[in-house]
Amino acid sequence: STLHYVTTNPGKVREAEEYLGADAVTQFDFDYTEIQADELGPIAAHGAREAYREVGEPVLVDDAGLFVEALGGFPGPYSSYVEDTVGVDRVWNLASDEEERRAYFRCTLAYCDGAEFDASPDPIDRDDRVAAAAAGVEEDEPADDAEPGTLPVKLFEGAVPGTMVAPRGDGGFGYDPIFEHDGTTLAEMDTERKNAISHRGRALEKFGEWFAER
Ligand code: ITT
Ligand code: NA
């Protein structure tokens, strides 16, 4: 059976299909309730439960954000709202006022298929831990979200460090044109190259390894 990739964003689906295979993934265009939280994990876990209740088949929710260090992690969990309201160019304008322009993208994938999981979390990748710590978001590998009385959700996380730059490139989506990694903006990369280094690619890699054994 196919995996329902829960998102309204076709750019995310392209990347997931490139990584997991086009036959493995189907977009489930569902606007789950984004609870107010300052971390991505609880938002994604809540969304995965809601989406699973809706379809009754395996779902993967993808919650991502851009965290600019000098701006205290802004726009972070509010990245979608900020893109829709002020837009990417004005986020760059804010960052350009700062001398320190380091930033991180983070992606949390939340999987739910109604079943219980082995509760032992995979150890977090060292680079991701460093990225998370530098982003000011002190975090171990997110604990599997399994509150009593709720559906179990398995979380996977990826992060990529970079630098805020004036917009370049027309690939990718969202904040890709203003985020540079190793001299190239994510919008200047094709999907395969972005996946090889990106927050989403790292999270998909962890998910893919776990899912293959399941
Ligand atoms: P869904 O919630 O329906 O998945 P969304 O685009 O709102 O779609 P997010 O809330 O996860 O998804 O996205 C937060 C914001 O970050 C949003 O403005 C995205 O465009 C942006 N974003 C997410 N992943 C990104 C990436 O890989 N590159 C650039 N921007 C990204
Ligand atoms: Na969203």
pLDDT (mean) for 113-139: 57
Q: Is the pLDDT of residue 139 over 50?
A: no
Among the listed residues 29, 31, 63, 140, the single catalytic one is 63
CA distance 56 to 36: 25
When pLDDT is averaged across residues 7-30 and rounded to a whole number, the result is 96
| pLDDT mean over 93-104 | 98
pTM of the model: 0.89
Identify the domain containing residue 130 by its residue range.
Answer: 3-212
> Is the CB–ligand 1 distance for residue 162 below 6 Å?
no
Q: How many domains does the chain have?
A: 1
Q: Is the CB of 160 under 6 A from ligand 1?
A: no
Q: Does 27 sit in the ligand 1 pocket, CB within 6 Å?
A: no
Does 63 qualify as catalytic in the annotation? yes
- Domain CATH for 136: 3.90.950.10
Residue 38 vs residue 27, higher pLDDT: 27
**Of the bound ligands, which one is closest to the alpha carbon of residue 28?**
1
pLDDT-above-90 percentage for the chain: 77
Rounded to two decimals, the ipTM of the complex is 0.97
Q: How far is the CA of 43 from the centre of ligand 2 (A)?
A: 10
**pLDDT for the residue numbered 147:** 60
Q: What is d(CA 160, CA 102) in angstroms, rounded to the nearest whole number?
A: 11
With a 6 Å cutoff on the Cβ, whether 176 touches ligand 1 is yes
Q: Which of 52-66, 117-131, 147-161, 177-191 has the lowest mean pLDDT?
A: 117-131
Asked whether the predicted pLDDT for residue 37 surpasses 90, the reply is: no
